[in-house]
Chain A
């Protein structure tokens, strides 16, 4: 039996709602565009850009301690700016800052800068002992996003969801 699944960004938005993840801060990415548009269009969410990813980690940390759950959306290069604040704020204070990273730099990347920085992402997550999962299949999207959010909250630990080009199509030169 073939089941028709909604697009990844619709699944993600619904999982955010189901887990009361209401505050969305982002530094944009082309791949994340449909998700960002849908989040802005839905009054359930408070959704806005920040000047820098670090700033969003601060906002989400404060919001969570005061009772509001959130998610940071960004691309691979944005994640690479974060190790200092991740280590000293959510990791040290046990705050479940949740991040969704559009994976650039692999599977047909055209920008050598993105390709180089991509190789630093998982080693950084591993060295911080942060839970992270890569979503590459539509049929696994709901479970991985949902369970990662739930575990982050229940264990008071930051976590990262990496959106593979296998899921999103990525960004390629036409």
Chain B
């Protein structure tokens, strides 16, 4: 685990997301932030416990926090991009103060708004792990490479959080686009959370 951004490998978002999904054996919740963060979650293989955002940029971490508060026994992951986090940086202070033990934040930091054409974010030189730590999230670190990302995931799954895992990304785009049907996404997610139980028709 690294507290600095020196020598961090730039990794492929779809590969990291696939590695995450492969480790989820306990019906863990995953909230995919808008755009490419949730596109790759969808491409990694749909699970009923996945929620794919379609707007409300910056709210992946708050949505995940709400799930984590409602179901303290279920590990809950937020997949958020650096541009999105910049929209709602203050939420890190709320997470640090409420400190839900079952919340894991994964930051995908490519330094750009990839979905709008690759323009650099205003925070292209910012150290988001340092920001998270300064907000009070002491379990925050950068993943130096894929092997370390996997070890940090194992640790986050096995120990109390909140955890914050920073990942530097390469410039590869997403595999595909998420199917955009918000009512269906919400309904499937609620069934995945066990809050909606009646049988679907057809």
Q: Mark A91-131, 1 if CB is under 8 A from B, else 0.
A: 01111000000000000000000000000000000000000
CB nearest neighbor in B for A48: B98
Contacts of B71 in A (CB 8 A): 66-67
Counting chain B CB atoms within 10 Å of each CB, the highest count among A48, A66, A88, A92 belongs to A66
CB nearest neighbor in B for A91: B182
Contacts of B193 in A (CB 8 A): 65-67
How far, in angstroms, from A4 to B55 measured CA to CA in the complex?
47
A23 CB within 8 Å of chain B: yes
Contacts of B58 in A (CB 8 A): 54, 58
Size class of B's contact patch?
35 or more
**Contacts A65-B186, A93-B185; is A60 near B66 (CB within 8 Å)?**
yes
**Contacts A23-B69, A63-B67; is A92 near B59 (CB within 8 Å)?**
no
Q: Mark A63-107, 1 if CB is under 8 A from B, else 0.
A: 111111010000000000000110111001111000000000000
Task: Let me know if A55 and B186 touch, CB within 8 A.
Answer: no
B94 CB within 8 Å of chain A: yes
Task: Let me know if B63 and A59 touch, CB within 8 A.
Answer: yes
B119 CB within 8 Å of chain A: no
How far, in angstroms, from A157 to B135 measured CA to CA in the complex?
34
**Contacts A23-B69, A62-B70, A67-B70; is A93 near B93 (CB within 8 Å)?**
no
Task: Let me know if A93 and B63 touch, CB within 8 A.
Answer: no
Contacts of B31 in A (CB 8 A): 62
B86 CB within 8 Å of chain A: no
Contacts of A58 in B (CB 8 A): 56, 58-63, 65-66, 88, 91
B20 CB within 8 Å of chain A: no
A51 CB within 8 Å of chain B: yes
Task: Let me know if A66 and B59 touch, CB within 8 A.
Answer: no
**Contacts A54-B56, A84-B55; is A62 near B94 (CB within 8 Å)?**
no
Please give the residue numbers on chain B whose beta carbons come within 8 Å of chain A beta carbons, in ascending order: 29, 31, 51, 53-71, 74, 88, 90-91, 93-94, 97-98, 182-183, 185-186, 189-190, 193-195
The 9 closest A-B pairs by CB, nearest first: A88-B55, A62-B66, A51-B90, A58-B62, A58-B59, A68-B70, A66-B70, A63-B66, A62-B63
Please give the residue numbers on chain A whose beta carbons come within 8 Å of chain B beta carbons, in ascending order: 23, 46, 48-52, 54-68, 70, 84-85, 87-89, 92-95
> Can you list 24 contacts pairing A with B, beta carbon distance less than 8 Å?
A23-B66, A48-B94, A48-B98, A49-B94, A54-B56, A54-B58, A55-B94, A56-B62, A58-B56, A58-B59, A58-B62, A62-B63, A62-B64, A66-B74, A67-B194, A68-B69, A85-B55, A85-B59, A87-B55, A92-B55, A93-B183, A93-B186, A94-B186, A95-B186
